[in-house]
Amino acid sequence: MAVPLSYSIRSLWTRRLTTVLTAGGMALVVFVFATILMLAEGLEKTLVQTGSPDNLLILRKGATGEVDSAIELDRAAVVESLPGIAVDDLGRPLLAKEVVVLITMDKKGGGSSNVTVRGIGRQSIALRPQVDIVRGRMPRFGVHEMLVGQSLLRRFEGLDIGGTLSGTLEDWRVVGVMDAGSTAFNSEIWADAEQVMQAFRREAYSLVIFRLQEDAPLNEVGAIVENDPRLTLQARIESNFYQEQSEMMASFLRVLGITLTVIFSLGAVIGAMITMYSAVANRTAEIGTLRALGFRRRAILLSFLAESLFLGLLGGCVGLFFASFMQFITISTLNFQSFSELAFRFTLTPVILAQSLAFALVMGFIGGVLPAFRASRMQIVDALRTS
């Protein structure tokens, strides 16, 4: 015979203060756990959405990112002559030779950070359909004009339309603002690649990006590039490249989050255990009565365990409720791969929901299993005599 679930819920309601405090401690732990996972997910999603599975990215062999890659002009010309490159409506190849450099800029709230400047070609916008110019216009090629991402505009000085930068780009003027959605391009400055190379005294491109015709397989064309001994280049599908760029940072955040959460959860588990032990001590007579009425030890065990699991579930739901509001916050951090500022949002997914609730239930189970065993092992005579 099982103890009714309503009995466990009424018992928790009777001890409202301790129930709220214990569930609150678990909610705080779940909030931290979910927030860190959302942070890692948001970073990964931002970088993954940056790349397109239809574009092929060419980098120097051995380069781990765009910043440390260099493709000499003659090698870029060989890549440009590859067969199978798609063309636009005017018959121009959908290919762009780009250069990526870093500059240090002052933040509006104080301090400074690295910002990515991407020297683009005439087809760079066509290859990145997620980029939309929302204010101003496209920079003209051959002059010192810039297009800035919306995320940078909110965080750095001098990037509004008509503004100019200090240092190497002191005579460059901002003429447009782009919205690249939830991608890394929203944290970049775009300008003419040839002008950027001259300003930073670069004699090589950082990458070549192009789109292939529908009947030309990306992997086969990539193999041609990598197997050509003249080039010493590597070919990557753009979406795969950015996904790999996110792995190190996202993994670091997840490990950090799990470590912090485990440390914090010890306090929550101890709190739940104290609460349940107190419940057992205060309900000795009830336990004896239940046993005298014919309820088995297993029923008593499951009843107290259900209370603890309910505490964990309650804390998990409250923690996730408050964590869900983090989705409206955009933060920036240093991208370990490019060493530049990257803005992204917290992202809550069904997987994170399930993981957070499971973690809350585990805390509830660990905190309640020993008190539940103690309650189930009580002898009927001893329990009634204590009352």
pLDDT digits (tens, 9 = 90+) for 193-214: 999 998 888 889 999 998 888 7
Q: Classify residue 6 as exposed, middle or buried by CB count within 10 Å of its CB (0-12, 13-18, 19+).
A: exposed
The per-type count for the chain, helices as H runs and strands as E runs, is 12, 13
Choose one of 204, 231, 258: the last residue of a domain: 231
Predicted pLDDT of residue 88: 83
Choose one of 231, 263, 284: the last residue of a domain: 231
Predicted pLDDT of residue 347: 85
At residue 112, what is the residue type? Answer: S
Predicted pLDDT of residue 12: 62
Round the average pLDDT of the chain to a whole number and report it. Answer: 78
In angstroms and rounded to an integer, the radius of gyration of the C-alpha atoms of the chain is 30
From 160, 186, 185, select the one nearest 175 (Cα to Cα).
Answer: 160
Predicted pLDDT of residue 216: 65
Asked whether residue 239 is assigned to any structural domain, the reply reads: no
Alpha carbons 307 and 11: distance in angstroms, whole number: 8
Same domain (yes/no): 252, 369: yes
Same domain (yes/no): 79, 36: no
pLDDT (tens digit per residue) in 251-302: 777 777 778 777 777 777 777 667 666 665 555 555 555 555 555 666 666 7
Please tell me the pTM assigned to this model: 0.73
Q: From the CB of residue 16, how many other CB atoms can be counted at a distance below 10 Å?
A: 9
Alpha carbons 62 and 271: distance in angstroms, whole number: 52
Q: From the CB of residue 381, how many other CB atoms can be counted at a distance below 10 Å?
A: 11
Domain interval for residue 302: 5-48+245-386
Asked whether residue 236 is assigned to any structural domain, the reply reads: no
More confident residue, 315 or 108: 315
Of 67-76, 240-249, 346-355, which range is least confident? 240-249
Same domain (yes/no): 382, 250: yes
Asked whether residue 95 is assigned to any structural domain, the reply reads: yes
More confident residue, 51 or 150: 150
Choose one of 231, 258, 292: the last residue of a domain: 231
Beta-bridge partner residues of 100:
118
Number of alpha carbons in the 13 Å side-chain half-sphere of residue 346: 20
Does 192 have pLDDT greater than 90?
Answer: yes
Predicted pLDDT of residue 108: 78
Same domain (yes/no): 156, 189: yes
Q: Quick one: average pLDDT of 335-343?
A: 62
Name, in order, each residue with C-beta under 8 angstroms of 31's C-beta and a sequence gap of 6 or more: 319, 320, 322, 323
Structural domains of the chain, count: 2
pLDDT (tens digit per residue) in 219-242: 677 777 788 777 888 888 888 887
Phi and psi angles of residue 149, each rounded to the nearest 5 degrees, phi first: -75, 150
Q: From the CB of residue 18, how many other CB atoms can be counted at a distance below 10 Å?
A: 18
CB 190 within 8 A of CB 146: yes
Asked whether residue 238 is assigned to any structural domain, the reply reads: no
Share of the chain above pLDDT 70, in %: 77
CB 141 within 8 A of CB 124: no
- Which structure tokens are listed for 337? 């791969």
- Which structure tokens are listed for 6? 């309503």
Asked whether residue 56 is assigned to any structural domain, the reply reads: no
